[in-house]
Amino acid sequence: VPGSSTYRIVVALDAVETVRTAYRLVDVLCEKVYGFKLGLPLLLRHGPKVAGRLRSLCPSAAWIADLKLADIGAVMKATVETIIDDVDAVIAHSFVGARGALDELKEYLDARGRKLILVATMSHSGAEEVYDKALDLIDFVIERVQPWGLVAPATRPSLVERLRRKHPNTVILSPGVGAQGAKPGTALCHGADYEIVGRAITSSENPLGSLEEIGATQMEVLRQCRRERH
Question: Where on the chain is the footprint of a copy of itself (CB under 8 A)?
Answer: 14-15, 39-41, 43-45, 47-48, 67-75, 78-79, 81-83, 93-103, 122-131, 133-134, 137-138, 140-141, 180
DSSP run (H or E) holding 158: helix 157-166
Task: Tell me if 55 sits within 8 A of 3, measured CB to CB.
Answer: no
Say how far apart CA 90 and CA 93 lie, in whole Å: 10
The continuous run of DSSP H or E covering 164 comes out as helix 157-166
Cβ 71 to a copy of itself shortest distance, Å: 5
CB of 74 or CB of 216, closer to a copy of itself:
74
Whether 68 is a known active-site residue: answer yes
Q: Rounded to whole angstroms, how far apart are CA atoms 120 and 90?
A: 14
Smallest gap from Cβ 63 to a copy of itself, in A, equals: 16
Choosing from 68, 77, 106, 133, the catalytic residue is: 68
Q: How far is the CB of 52 from a copy of itself (least distance, A)?
A: 14
| Distance from C-alpha of 227 to C-alpha of 124, rounded to nearest angstrom | 29
Closer by beta carbon to a copy of itself, 182 or else 189: 182
Q: Enumerate the active-site residues.
A: 68
